[in-house]
Amino acid sequence: MSDGAGHSNTFGGSASAHGVVQARDVHGGVHLHQYVPDAPAIVPHQLLGGTRHFVNRSRELSRLGQLVADGRGTPAVLPLAVITGTAGVGKTSLALHWAHTIRSHYPGGELYANLRGYAVDSPVSPERILGRFLEDLGVPAALVPVEGERRESMFRSLIADRRMLVILDNAVDSGQVRPLLPGSAACLTVVTSRDDLSGLVAQQGALRVRLETFPAAEAITLLRTATAEYRGRDRRADLAELARLCARLPLALRIAAERAASWPSMPLSELIEDLRDESALWNVLTTTEEKGGPDAMRSVFEWSYRALPAPAARLFRILGLHPGNEFGLPAVAGMAGVEPAEARAQLDTLVSAHLLERRPAGRYEFHDLLRAYAADQARKRDGEAERRAILERCLAWYLHTADAAQSVIAPFDRYHLDDRFPAPDAPLRFARYEEAFQWYRTESGNLATAVRVAAESGFPALAWRLAVVLRAVYMHHNAFDDWASTARIAVDAAVRADEPAGQAEALESLGKSAFQALRLDEARDCHRSALAIRRQLGDRRGTAVSVNALGLLGLRLRRLHEARAHFEDSCAIFRELRDRRWTALLQGNLAESLCELGRYDEAVRTLEPALAEFRVLGDRGSEGNALFLLCWARRGADDAEAAGHAIEAALAIAGAEDNQVWRGHWLMESARLELARGNPEVSLCLCRESALIQRRLGDRAREAIAQDGAGEACQALGRHQEAAELHRRAVALHRGLDGRWQLACALHNLADALHVLGEREQARAAGQESRELLSAFDDPQAAARSRRLAQLLERG
């Protein structure tokens, strides 16, 4: 059984080659069709609450109802509704109202996403939404794949046999929606957008429902219904005039109704005059092209805003400066510099005025038009210095709360934040991993946006620090999109801040992100640049970190002598610095390169002190990896008994931690050991178990290695036909990846099996391809394989 196949499947974000063994496929993603959760399927219920005082829309509801009533969905035509119309016309209200009436038809649950197509920030990418949906459906964050196409495939696979309702709110165009569409006719998707979404209608057969402004009668009904509990019988003529001033747009009507309900003793005619005054003001300030619905809404916004108590009005303006449309109470309190109870009271005032929407779990959200209006009011009414102080307080709150989260989520890989930006009064603290991760998951969009906003708003020093603080969280949860984007911003921000040490940290982060996404040339350039800066600064610790990163890159590319030299240099520096954990990690990395080079006795001597150190530190994952490597080294040194003790201890750790990722990987070393001991039947069982785990985890690279190992066990059992089939599967899987060494090994094994079966031409083709791949490597294992293949090919 081939040594080393897959051992250099390293995690580029970690300090060590195996220090964070997650179910990541660093070859670019996971095999989405093969992810099968062991736990019962999660049934998400994500519908937001329906709109109070929903009025009519009977014609539109009747048209939408046809999708459910006539079973329109077929394998060729998926049930898809698109609700279009101008801003504030009630698209989301209609979608949610209808969704609540039909949710019983969809026992598989409901997924909801705001695509933010017309927010101040960029629309949310389909890849980000898919990642969130996958986690909502029970996929661990570490197993969400990198590429958008694979996320699509996994999403459709997971919901293929479920009847689900998917609400995609506020789409910018058809292209944003298509990747999010289920593939099953049992699922119904409802999309809202200001765009006509003609592409979805033409290509996906969507039912389009265009919303117009309310007819006068329905607008009056909405106003009367919303104010009935608070006001006497207002004259129909006054209600009609109020509706006209609101352009009969539901958003404006609801805000106006709330204002009227708040002043029950004031005649409606007087309120109308106030609104007319605001309209006149807007007519002076706006151009002819802007007249109409948007103009009417601005007037209503101003009318309602002026009625707010001063503290609530100030908070409204402050929230217009928040990086995102949606936020929680702690962030609001930190941004405003007030106690949470005071912030909650003011938020309640804004919700009551329909200037803010309440969301589940203590969250609040702006309509994008209201957020733009709030930001505009802040620019007009608050000085630049005050706005800058508010934004800095907000960004600092996110920085320090993210620091608290990383300290719990990834304590061994955290970045140690300096005191350049003092902590605000109320950053959150987390006692448990689950709390910290849930906060990160909820705020992930705001965190990535905060990095960008900080860089664009004159806080480059804060921008790169926030990005680097988030690095440890990103690397532990495969947040590839945010990791890459924030790291790029951080590199530029650190340059503008004139902080070379920060530039090196940002380059390190970008390099690790690039390594993880297999942009290996970019990863090399980033780590070399970071190394040059750190050497110039005299930063010995940073130098050692960068040298280690280059070693990991060499190991990944199977440049083993280069990797070994880097690991030795880095280890020497950490030993000099008396950093015990980093020294142990580098000893593990060095031992792996020694195992790959066939220097097993050296590897054993290197691993034993590292293993002892990990036990003292209580780092169970690194201890298990050291035992895994020790088994490999002991096996190579022909000490099967000691090797057995090591891998048994490693697997015991995986069992105690209930970590299937570790178990699936370490089982293959146990299988290699059993084959070396002359127990191919046991080896075959272990390979099969490993392959099954990897298939469930979606790790194609390691599944291919397990299939190949099973083939070698079958060859030892004389089951050559079965072996050839297993090797073919391994080859097919490796071809979809970039692992040239693993592919070469699998092709060699296939050539051996085919030769025994007498299939000489196919054996020759596989052998020749394997030799061509092996020619790129200069290590002893590659040379030995090449010699064996030459002998095989000579025998013909």
Name the band, by pLDDT with cuts 50, 70 and 90, for residue 2.
Answer: low
Q: What is the model's pLDDT at position 278?
A: 59
Amino acid identity of residue 125, one-letter, is S
Task: Tell whether pTM > 0.75.
Answer: yes
DSSP 79-107: -EEEEE-STTSSHHHHHHHHHHHHGGG-T
Query: Which pLDDT score, from 0 to 100, does residue 78 have?
Result: 77
Average pLDDT over residues 722-744: 91
Evaluate if residue 11 carries a pLDDT over 50.
no
Q: Give the model's pLDDT for residue 254.
A: 86
Q: What integer pLDDT is reported at residue 641 of this predicted model?
A: 97
pLDDT score of 34 more than 60: no
| Beta pairing partners, 165 | 110, 188
pLDDT in tens, 651-661: 999 999 888 88
3-state SS record for 735-749: HCCCCHHHHHHHHHH
Which tops the pLDDT comparison, 284 or 493? 493
649 vs 297, higher pLDDT: 649
350-366 pLDDT per residue, tens: 998 888 989 888 899 99
Percent of the chain with pLDDT over 70: 91
Write the secondary structure of 685-718 as one string of H (helix), E (strand) and C (coil).
HHHHHHHHHHHHHCCHHHHHHHHHHHHHHHHHCC
String of b and e for 170-182 (b: at least 16 CB within 10 Å)? bbbbbebbebbbb
Which pLDDT score, from 0 to 100, does residue 623 have?
96
Residue 247 falls in which region: left (phi positive, over 0), alpha (psi -120 to 50) or beta: left
Residue whose C-alpha is closest to residue 471's, from 428, 443, 507: 507
Give the CB-side neighbour count of residue 685, counting CA atoms within 13 A: 4
Q: How confident is the model at residue 233 (pLDDT cuts 50, 70, 90)?
A: confident
| Pairing of β 363-365 and β 326-328 | antiparallel
Q: Which among 7, 146, 23, 1 has a CA at the least distance from the CA of 476?
A: 23
Tens digit of each residue's pLDDT (9 = 90 or more) over 533-560: 999 999 999 999 999 999 999 999 999 9
At 23, which amino acid appears? A
Rg of the chain (C-alpha set): 31
- Band the pLDDT of 295: cuts 50, 70, 90: low
Q: Which of 183-187, 237-241, 387-391 has the highest mean pLDDT?
A: 387-391
Q: Please classify residue 786 by burial: count the beta carbons closer than 10 Å to its beta carbon, then call 0-12 exposed, 13-18 middle and 19+ buried.
A: middle
Contact 41, 138 (CB under 8 A): yes
Please tell me the predicted confidence (pLDDT) of residue 360.
87
Look at residues 542, 546, 406 and name the one whose alpha carbon lies nearest to residue 470: 406
pLDDT over 80 at 561, yes or no:
yes
Mean pLDDT of 751-766: 95
Q: Is the pLDDT of residue 747 over 80?
A: yes
- Which position has the higher pLDDT, 311 or 49? 311
The whole-number average pLDDT for the span 757-761 is 94
Mean pLDDT rounded to a whole number for the chain: 88
Indicate if the pLDDT at residue 283 is higher than 60.
no
pLDDT of residue 251: 84
Nearest to 299, CA basis, from 368, 251, 350, 349: 251
- Give the model's pLDDT for residue 37: 44
Q: pLDDT by residue (tens digit) across 687-729?
A: 999 999 888 776 788 999 999 999 999 999 999 999 999 999 9
pLDDT at residue 289 in the model? 40
Lowest mean per-residue pLDDT among 51-55, 125-129, 743-747: 51-55
Packed helices 700-716 and 660-676: angle between N→C axes, nearest 10 degrees:
20
> What value does the mean pLDDT take over residues 203-232?
89
Q: Which of 228-237, 400-409, 635-644, 652-661 has the lowest mean pLDDT?
A: 228-237
pLDDT interval class at 8 (50, 70, 90)? very low
Whether residue 268 is predicted with pLDDT greater than 80 in this model: the reply is yes
- High-pLDDT (> 90) share of the chain, %: 64
Looking at residue 279, what is its pLDDT?
56
pLDDT mean over 24-38 = 32
pLDDT band at 259 (very low <50, low <70, confident <90, very high): confident
165-171 sheet: strands from edge to edge = 110-114, 165-171, 188-193, 80-84, 207-210
